[in-house]
Structure 1
Amino acid sequence: MPYIWSDVGDARQMRATPHRSLPRKGFVWFIGITASLLCLPLLAVLGNVILWALLPFMLAAIAAIWWAIELSYRSGTSEEILRITPERITVTRLDPDGAKREWSANPYWIRATIRPGPVDDYLTLTGDHESGREIELGAFLTPEERRDLQRDVNRELARIRGTG
């Protein structure tokens, strides 16, 4: 599960991170195997001037694959932290560019809802009468994980209020 619940003092905290299907060790193997397979056709032109014409394109292809996977790793550094206490619910979002955004409200009025949106099973925290805002939660989770998270958040909110 890409999100984990824990107890921190009198608060209940959830930390969510994007799933990474290719670990760093797998990345090294993938680049090595890809480079080897792309260089195989070069064996046929070894010792020929054509080798020098094809080599830059092979290197550019490997560099492009490397760059794309590194970009994916950088986007995977985002994180969401949901903290629920009897007095406050706080969501802290750490973006890949290092920006930190925070939102908080009285947990008595908040509920996690799934509604139509830009992604399937769009999960939001709604009901904040203080600011009137609605925020998205778990944007990088799968639809099934967002449904599970909605149930978990509503259960924790009910428990903190003493109604569940």
Structure 2
Amino acid sequence: MPIEWVNETKQAPDITGASLHAQGEPPLAELHLWPHRSLPKRGFAAFILATFTLLLLPLLAVLGTPILWGLAPFVLGALWLMYGLMQKNYRDGEILEELTLWSDHAKLTRTARNKPPLTWEANPYWVSVQLHAKGGPVPSYVTLKGSGREVELGAFLSEDERVALHQSLRDLLGRIIATGTTGGSHSGPEDRPS
């Protein structure tokens, strides 16, 4: 599953109430998101080998004839094109979204291959997690809104994963706001002052 929670503590805080994180203190929770990889690298190698073998089978009938030399460039070209396009797909899918949460700071960083990282920061107290059932680029579109900006989160995930992500982020932000940590009582965004 392309969702990984890092550093999410579940225990109750030592001191409850609003607190500020000290400089250099580890985050209360960290979320990593990345696109699905339905074909791992090992499977990719097996697929290319199987494709090469299947493309060679028709050439066996024309082995030793001049027709072989007429067909061979097309067969090898098709294999090279398949390999190149699949490699491009792997490179385009090298995206990592990292959401880091402290008691008084939230930071979202989106890193994509050959592009500068995109960063969004806000105070978690004022961050709202939105689930747009319709109207977004994908169904059940998840956004974070705060500091005057609204940013997307996990648009490459499946619809079910985005719905689950929305709920877990709402719960987590509520716990961070209520206690200053990810443990303790729950207070949802609807309980925040307007």
TM-score, normalization by structure 1:
0.93
The structure whose RCO (Cα within 8 Å, separation 6+) is larger is 2
Whole-angstrom distance in 2 between the partners of 1:78 and 1:32: 27
Find the residue that maps to 1:134 and give its secondary structure. Answer: strand
Q: Unpaired segments of 5 or more residues in structure 2?
A: 9-25, 179-184, 187-194
Whole-angstrom distance in 1 between the partners of 2:48 and 2:97: 30
Alignment partner for residue 35 of structure 2, among 18, 38, 43? 18
Which 4+ runs in 1 deviate beyond 4 A?
Answer: none
Decide whether aligned partners of structure 1 residues 27 and 125 sit closer, same or farther in structure 2, where only a CA change above 3 A counts.
same
Report the alpha carbon displacement of residue 97 of structure 1 after superposing the two structures with TM: 1.8
Alignment partner for residue 102 of structure 1, among 106, 114, 119? 119
Report the alpha carbon displacement of residue 98 of structure 1 after superposing the two structures with TM: 4.2
Answering whether residue 73 of structure 2 is matched by residue 56 of structure 1, we say: yes
Q: Which amino acid aligns with 1:4?
A: E
Q: Which has the larger radius of gyration?
A: 2
Partner of 2:154: 138
Deviations, residues 89-114 of structure 1 (Å, cap 9, x unaligned): 11000012242111001111112111
Find the residue that maps to 1:119 and give its secondary structure. Answer: coil
Indicate the percent of aligned positions where both proteins have the same amino acid: 41
Answering whether residue 109 of structure 2 is matched by residue 84 of structure 1, we say: no
Number of corresponding residues:
161
Q: Which amino acid aligns with 1:151?
A: Q
CA contact (8 A) 2:6 2:30 kept: yes
Find the residue that maps to 1:45 and give its secondary structure. Answer: coil
Answering whether residue 119 of structure 2 is matched by residue 119 of structure 1, we say: no
Give the RMSD, CA atoms, in angstroms.
1.3
Whole-angstrom distance in 1 between the partners of 2:77 and 2:155: 33
CA contact (8 A) 2:27 2:100 kept: no
